[in-house]
Structure 1
Amino acid sequence: MNLNDLSSLMERRQDGGLSFERFRADPVLAGLQWPDDVLRDFLFEHGDHSPFVDDYGHLDLSAITWTLETIPTADFYTMPTGESEAGLIEHFAQHPVYWVTVRPPGVGRHWEEHGTWLRPPLLIDRRLLNLGSSGLQVLEGRTRVGVLRGRLREQLHAAPEHQTWVGRS
């Protein structure tokens, strides 16, 4: 199963008649066994976003297992995102305080108190994208990773490690 196989589900979601609860209960998704956070951020929110589909539409979704992992801050310094949105992380990194202030107030408080994001972003093992690749790539959460990079550059409080959802085969 890949993103194109979910086109009718995405159309129903676009029409506004499909809440996340009804979306995740759809029989076509039953075999995925993904955490709700991943289903929401990957499929419900971005499953039909054109650049996202360009970068990840070929993935066999049923071959991905998601685990909550703690990743060192240093790993995020140069971690890429998909080719279709290359440069987006650095765009957010240029103004980290701004990108936090346009979010709900709890997001900014969490950054100040804990030096990390409130909700874990999604990273993917690059070997799923290209067998010759290695390392992790930001699948969803480019703003969060950009804010982290910007906070580091501006010497604002940042934790030494961060929780993320990581997709691996």
Structure 2
Amino acid sequence: MAQRFFDHGDNGHFMDDYGDVDLRAITWTLETIPAAAFPTMPTGESDAGCIESYAADPVYWGKVRPPEVGRHWEEHGTWLRPPLLIDRRLLDPADSGLQVLEGRTRLGVLCGRLREQLRVAPHHQAWVGRS
């Protein structure tokens, strides 16, 4: 699972936000999180606002992905592949809560579906990195 992170090394925005964090030293656990927790979850500073841009048209973003992605949203009200979240204390010890590390499109679709009252499961799985 951790290998998935390391393909972001050539993404400048990702490196600006997380280049100082050793993602391999973090313990990753698949957790179940209430849908209501996601709309207020921040992302990295360089990606501020991108979740909202995906949320503006959640049906479109479900359709431009492989067909099984859109089907999964319609049938199960959740994403096909869990996003990656990080405990904000790993970024700033004075902070708390979770932050979107990877999966901004998925979270945008979820937020848009919630707002448009489309089918959304009450809980969603996500990989959460903690110390």
TM-score of the pair, normalised by structure 1: 0.76
Partner in structure 2 of residue 39 of structure 1: 3
**What do residues 39-88 of structure 1 show as CA deviations (whole Å, max 9, x unaligned)?**
22x212x2220000000000123431101000100110110000011000
Partner in structure 2 of residue 149 of structure 1: 111
Tell me: higher relative CO, structure 1 or 2? Use CA pairs within 8 A at least 6 residues apart.
Answer: 2
Partner in structure 2 of residue 168 of structure 1: 130
Cα gap change, 1:104/1:75 in structure 2, threshold over 3 Å: closer, same or farther? same
Q: Secondary structure at the match of 2:85?
A: strand
CA–CA separation in structure 1 for the residues paired with 2:96 and 2:58: 28
Higher fraction of strand: 2
CA–CA separation in structure 2 for the residues paired with 1:47 and 1:122: 16
CA–CA separation in structure 2 for the residues paired with 1:164 and 1:61: 16
CA–CA separation in structure 2 for the residues paired with 1:107 and 1:80: 23
CA–CA separation in structure 2 for the residues paired with 1:111 and 1:147: 9
Trace 1:10-159 onto structure 2 (pairs within 5 A).
35=1, 38-40=2-4, 42-44=5-7, 46-159=8-121
In the TM superposition, structure 1's runs of 4+ consecutive aligned residues that sit over 3 Å from their partners are none
| Aligned AA (2:69) | V
Structure 1 residue runs without a partner (length 5+): 1-34
Structure 2 residue runs without a partner (length 5+): none
| Aligned AA (1:57) | G
